[in-house]
Amino acid sequence: MLDVSLLVDPIFILFSLSNFLTSIGFYIPYVYTVPMSEKLGIENSPYLISIIGASNLVGRIVLGYISDKP
């Protein structure tokens, strides 16, 4: 039988809530980047999401390499 007692543990609930709020704070800027840049008159604003994604990729690889160094 599946034990669901963890789901009602206050620490688990707080942990889950904090992860949910953190993920909202991380992904919301992606939703509003293009409309806001178009409002500001920036040309080729859809490319901003690609630039953010490429920067994220490079940063993850570089920081992963650095963190493996002793």
**pLDDT score for 45:** 85
**pLDDT score for 6:** 85
Radius of gyration of the chain (CA): 19
Domain count, the chain: 1
Give the C-alpha separation, 3 to 56, whole Å.
38
CB proximity list for 42: less than 8 A, separation 6 or greater:
48
Give the C-alpha separation, 34 to 14, whole Å.
33
Q: What rounded mean pLDDT belongs to the chain?
A: 91
**pLDDT score for 69:** 86
pTM over 0.85: no
Question: Does the pLDDT at position 17 exceed 80?
Answer: yes
Question: Does the pLDDT at position 59 exceed 80?
Answer: yes
**Residue 68's pLDDT band (cuts 50, 70, 90):** very high
- Strands of 1-70 (E only): list them: none
Give the C-alpha separation, 26 to 32, whole Å.
12
Give me the domain span that covers residue 12: 5-68
